[in-house]
């Protein structure tokens, strides 16, 4: 099955950044930031689970990504996701810098 995590090019997407929201422990809690290659809009999505499912395996259509965001909307979404989370703060700052550099 094709999904946005392992095959972003199948959706005309490019992965800009990804980071863990919590410390991995046989599980994942990820933020994935991708950019549409055509429209240049961003998608900010999260997925969490134990070690058995693959990250973002339920994201198999572009419609499953939600509404595209401009750079400022993506930065706000990232900030909202990690607000008060010291573990993810440095990674979020790096992801925000990558979004703003585009």
Express as a percent the part of the chain with pLDDT over 70.
99
Determine the average pLDDT of the residues in 27-39.
96
How many structural domains does the chain have? 1
| Single pTM value for the model | 0.93
Please check whether residue 61 lies inside any domain of the structure: yes
Q: Determine the structural domain holding residue 20 and report its residue range.
A: 8-100
Instruction: Report CA-CA distances (Å) from 16 to 42, 44, 64.
Output: 9, 10, 18
Express as a percent the part of the chain with pLDDT over 90.
82
Q: What is the pLDDT of residue 96?
A: 98
Please check whether residue 23 lies inside any domain of the structure: yes
Report the mean per-residue pLDDT for the chain: 94
List the structure tokens of 8.
């972003």
Residues written for the chain = 102
Please check whether residue 3 lies inside any domain of the structure: no
Please check whether residue 69 lies inside any domain of the structure: yes
Distance (Å, rounded) from C-alpha 53 to C-alpha 45?
Answer: 16
Q: Which of 11, 21, 12, 41 is nearest to 90 (CA)?
A: 21
Please check whether residue 2 lies inside any domain of the structure: no
Give the relative orientation of helices 71-82 and 86-100 as an angle to the nearest 10 degrees.
170
């Amino acid at each position: 099955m094709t999904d946005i995590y392992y095959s972003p090019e199948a959706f005309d997407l490019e992965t800009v950044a990804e980071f863990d929201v919590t410390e991995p422990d046989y599980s994942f809690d990820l933020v994935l930031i991708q950019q549409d290659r055509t429209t240049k809009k961003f998608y900010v999505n999260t997925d969490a689970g134990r070690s058995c499912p693959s990250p973002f395996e339920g994201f198999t259509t572009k419609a499953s990504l939600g509404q595209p965001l401009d750079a400022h909307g993506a930065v706000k979404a990232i900030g909202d996701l990690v607000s008060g989370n010291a573990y993810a703060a440095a990674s979020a700052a790096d992801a925000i810098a990558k979004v703003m550099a585009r």
